[in-house]
Amino acid sequence: MIDADAIVHELQAPGTPMLDEIAEAFGPGLIDTEGRLDRNALGTTVFRDAGARRRLEQIVHPKVIATIADRVASAHAAGAPLIVVDIPLLFDRPENNANRESSPSFDATVLVYAPEQQQIERQMKRDGRDRKAALARIRAQLPIESKKTMADIVIDNSGSLEETERQTRMLFERFTAGRA
């Protein structure tokens, strides 16, 4: 699996050019004493200022997209029977995608869906955010109901973990049937 969030973390590791670019754009105060990005501080900045969020996207998205494209090409070359690419913001703001021509194409897009209210509650529980901060992050994205109409396949994640796993297994079997 190719994970866009993991790629972001790799590209923003201490000493990387992207981290330097972020520090230049948003100030060195976002880098902690060990040279790591303070993601909470950056999030606070970009989720209250749309211009700052666009600037961050201009720094991050093209490099992440290029890395994903490289990894998809490598997986194809290695003969991978199935390549799963996890991109949380796949449907969001495609106009900010400066490297669109180098983006990989996909046989199918899958959205893991939960209604907005459930997303807010889960984010508050998982990340310890208050309702206002969770809502700001969700509202900075394309509405989930719009994403639902854009996806080829929707996995409903609003029920039990077992039900989500069942849907995921069925989809995996569908995608891998007849592949070596």
Considering the domain architecture, whether residues 5 and 81 belong to the same structural domain is answered as: yes
Residue 107 confidence (pLDDT) above 70: yes
Out of 94, 124, 149, pick the residue that ends a domain: 94
Band the pLDDT of 92: cuts 50, 70, 90.
confident
Residue 128: inside a domain: yes
pTM score, whole prediction: 0.84
Alpha-carbon distance 39 to 57, whole Å? 14
More confident residue, 100 or 43: 43
Considering the domain architecture, whether residues 81 and 119 belong to the same structural domain is answered as: no
* Range 33-51 average pLDDT: 91
Considering the domain architecture, whether residues 90 and 118 belong to the same structural domain is answered as: no
Alpha-carbon distance 27 to 23, whole Å? 5
Considering the domain architecture, whether residues 180 and 150 belong to the same structural domain is answered as: yes
Band the pLDDT of 94: cuts 50, 70, 90.
low
Considering the domain architecture, whether residues 180 and 153 belong to the same structural domain is answered as: yes
Number of domains in the chain: 2
Give the dihedral sign, CA 83/84/88/91: positive
Provide φ and ψ at 33, rounded to 5°. Answer: -65, -20
Alpha-carbon distance 60 to 64, whole Å? 6
Average per-residue pLDDT for the chain: 90
Q: What is the CATH number of the domain that holds 33?
A: 3.40.50.300
Considering the domain architecture, whether residues 87 and 164 belong to the same structural domain is answered as: no
Considering the domain architecture, whether residues 90 and 164 belong to the same structural domain is answered as: no
Residue 101: inside a domain: no
Band the pLDDT of 103: cuts 50, 70, 90.
low
Considering the domain architecture, whether residues 113 and 80 belong to the same structural domain is answered as: no
Its domain, for residue 162, covers 107-180
Considering the domain architecture, whether residues 87 and 111 belong to the same structural domain is answered as: no
Residue 102: inside a domain: no
Residue 138: inside a domain: yes
Considering the domain architecture, whether residues 90 and 142 belong to the same structural domain is answered as: no
Residue 163: inside a domain: yes
Considering the domain architecture, whether residues 61 and 8 belong to the same structural domain is answered as: yes
Residue 31 DSSP symbol: B
* Residue pLDDT, tens place only, 75-87: 999 999 899 999 9
What was the pLDDT predicted at 95? 47
